[in-house]
Amino acid sequence: MAYRNGVYAAFDGQGTTNPTESDIKYFRLLKIWAQEKGEDFRYIDSHEKTSAVRDSSKKETLQRVLRERLSHSKVMFLILSHDTNYDRGFLNYEIEEALDTYKLPLIIAYPNIKDTKISNLWPVLEERWPRALKQRLNNNNRNDISCLHIHFTKELAKRALGDMTVHEKKFMNARLIYK
């Protein structure tokens, strides 16, 4: 069994390799926060625990590497922007594997909603959810999902990463929100 101490960050690449046109910018910001001196921001990147793959790799190769990364993870940090697509790329596959196979807790971070309570935007934010997430969170028979919704800020990301782990599931509520 793999040692599960990594953070598996997932986001929609918006079908582009240009980082200014996709949500990879938020993933990179997460990594920058962890590298800042004097900060107690613990972030071990699960993507760095395996060999690199190219976007041009075969689907089976990509899926195998993604599963390996998930197996080394203690939590999935899911970034959902207003550009997140309902059914594109590997994001739905990553969510399915994280929740169904590896039973990872989720931190769902929403960029660009800093001044409004998440609970006030629930219908709008729910529209950002990819198919796999929507199916699982709206399934009343699923009580095994540990999920936390946050604003995409350094302070809340740090707090959430400290609270959420596959080793101790504190939050078993699909609509739990940090305020």
Contacts of 178 (CB under 8 A, 6+ apart): 148, 149, 150, 151, 156, 159, 160
Does position 73 have pLDDT exceeding 90, yes or no?
A: yes
Does position 76 have pLDDT exceeding 60, yes or no?
A: yes
Q: What is the pLDDT of residue 121?
A: 84
> pLDDT tens for residues 115-166?
678 878 888 888 889 999 999 988 867 777 888 899 999 999 999 998 888 7
In a domain, 57, yes or no: yes
Q: Are 153 and 179 in contact (CB under 8 A)?
A: no
Does position 9 have pLDDT exceeding 90, yes or no?
A: yes
> Mean pLDDT, to the nearest integer, of 91-107?
95
In a domain, 158, yes or no: yes
Q: Are 5 and 75 in contact (CB under 8 A)?
A: no
| Residue 135 domain boundaries | 6-177
Q: What is the pLDDT of residue 105?
A: 92
In a domain, 24, yes or no: yes
Q: How many domains does the chain have?
A: 1
Q: What is the pLDDT of residue 15?
A: 67
Q: Residue 145: give its domain's CATH number.
A: 3.40.50.11200
Q: Kindly state the tokens that stand for 57.
A: 């790799």
In a domain, 113, yes or no: yes
Give the C-alpha separation, 46 to 120, whole Å: 33
Spatial CA neighbour of 104 closest among 164, 44, 156, 178: 164
**Stronger pLDDT, 160 or 1, i.e. the higher one:** 160
Q: What is the pLDDT of residue 50?
A: 63
Q: In the chain, how long is the greatest CA-to-CA distance? A: 44
Q: What is the pLDDT of residue 29?
A: 92
Spatial CA neighbour of 10 closest among 115, 81, 112, 60: 81
In a domain, 146, yes or no: yes
In a domain, 41, yes or no: yes
Q: Kindly state the tokens that stand for 173.
A: 């509520």
> Dihedrals φ, ψ of 77, to 5°?
-105, 105
Contacts of 75 (CB under 8 A, 6+ apart): 7, 8, 104, 105, 106, 107, 161, 164, 165, 166
> pLDDT tens for residues 23-68?
889 999 999 998 887 777 777 778 676 666 665 568 888 889 899 9
> Mean pLDDT, to the nearest integer, of 174-178?
55
Give the C-alpha separation, 22 to 62, whole Å: 19
In a domain, 1, yes or no: no
